[in-house]
Amino acid sequence: MTTSRRVILSNWMKWNCLPLLFLFAIPVLLHAQASAPLKLIQSIPLPGLKEGDFDHFAVDLDGHRLFLTAEANGLVEVFDTQTNKLIYTIRGLEAPHSMVYRADLNRLFVVDGDASEIKVYDTNSYALVGHVAVVHRCRLSSL
């Protein structure tokens, strides 16, 4: 096949196949946009908490727990993900930020920004079992 025929065939495919592709893709795209990606199934009240940031979470999948920092309140709230109930409140933090849950260690590591330290909690008893000082000018939210 000569080069000019290849160009003609290529142009023909562009002008005829692309519209067909779009014609078949439009119903799929419209259907995908019709359903919402998330559906609210329940709201859990948090009485007694001040306004503030509630945007740092850690999850314990096997233990069915969700850890939530209440930064302006100096708390970590622990929820049961099966009952959607508050089951424990960890107190004694100044401004909790990021958290990491380690199931293999049964430990929750919480960055306490105003205290410039990482606090370590036993996740069976929720007791403070240690802390690590952090350099004062370190950006704690990036840890």
**pTM of the model as a whole:** 0.68
Q: Using 50, 70 and 90 to split pLDDT, how confident is the model at 128?
A: very high
pLDDT of res. 139: 56
Mean pLDDT, rounded, of the chain: 81
Tell me the mean pLDDT in the region 37-48. 82
What DSSP letter does each residue of 56-106 carry, written as one string?
-EEEETTTTEEEEEEGGGTEEEEEETTTTEEEEEE---SSEEEEEEETTTT
